[in-house]
Amino acid sequence: MKLNWFIGFIILAVLACVGYMVWKVFQPERNVIRINIPESYLNNTDTSRFSLYPVAVSRKKMDDSILVLFPITERRAALFVYDSLNYQLLMRGDKRARPLLQPHGLRERTGKPTLNLSRLQNGSYFAHLTSCNYGGFFEIQLHDTLNSPAIVH
């Protein structure tokens, strides 16, 4: 009787290992793209005198994780990201404009204000960091490229 249980346990363990290996082989690889926004770039966002180049982000596939890291600021700094439609509403003064929801706790993990742009559709998004040092908006353009590595301009 004990031998039957032992053989059953071995068969179950082998099946579990095979199942894990199959799952691991067919699980898509997920790249993490970290973008550090320098202070020199943010210093120009609060005035319309300067024309800023958008931050262009290329990802290999939609499942890639994209984290935008900002310089360390005060604890009360607020960070928002808007899609094109809500940004246009905001610029017209429409109170229906809403920022995209961001996961909580990213700042505690990274030590910096952080935007998570993972799983957003291709297109233009507008980041807004408000603190004593910085203000204003800048554009982030997301797009997929299947045959080239992730590039940040």
User: What's the rounded mean pLDDT across residues 19-28?
Assistant: 79
Looking at the structure, tell me whether residues 80 and 140 fall in a common domain. yes
Looking at the structure, tell me whether residues 90 and 23 fall in a common domain. no
Report the Cα 120 to chain-centroid distance in Å: 8
In a domain, 123, yes or no: yes
Where residue 83 sits, what CATH number does that domain have?
2.60.40.10
* Segment 41-85, tens digit of pLDDT: 887 776 655 567 888 888 888 888 888 888 876 777 778 899 999
Q: Check residue 125 and give its pLDDT.
A: 93
Report the Cα 103 to chain-centroid distance in Å: 10
Instruction: Show the domain range for 15.
Output: 1-29
Looking at the structure, tell me whether residues 140 and 69 fall in a common domain. yes
Q: How deeply is 65 buried, as exposed, middle or buried, from its count of CB atoms within 10 A (0-12, 13-18, 19+)?
A: middle
Q: Check residue 1 and give its pLDDT.
A: 61
Looking at the structure, tell me whether residues 56 and 14 fall in a common domain. no
Closest to 101 in 3D by CA, of 120, 122, 85, 88: 120
* Segment 129-142, tens digit of pLDDT: 887 777 778 889 99
Looking at the structure, tell me whether residues 40 and 69 fall in a common domain. yes
Asked whether the predicted pLDDT for residue 20 surpasses 90, the reply is: no
- Taking CA atoms, 55 is separated from 128, 138, 143, 149, in Å, by 13, 8, 11, 16
Helix (H, G, I), strand (E, B) or coil at 98: coil
Looking at the structure, tell me whether residues 79 and 94 fall in a common domain. yes
Looking at the structure, tell me whether residues 53 and 116 fall in a common domain. yes
Structure tokens at 81: 């990201």
User: What is the pLDDT confidence band of residue 150, given thresholds at 50, 70 and 90?
Assistant: very low
In a domain, 108, yes or no: yes
Give the span between the Cα atoms of 113 and 41, in whole angstroms: 15
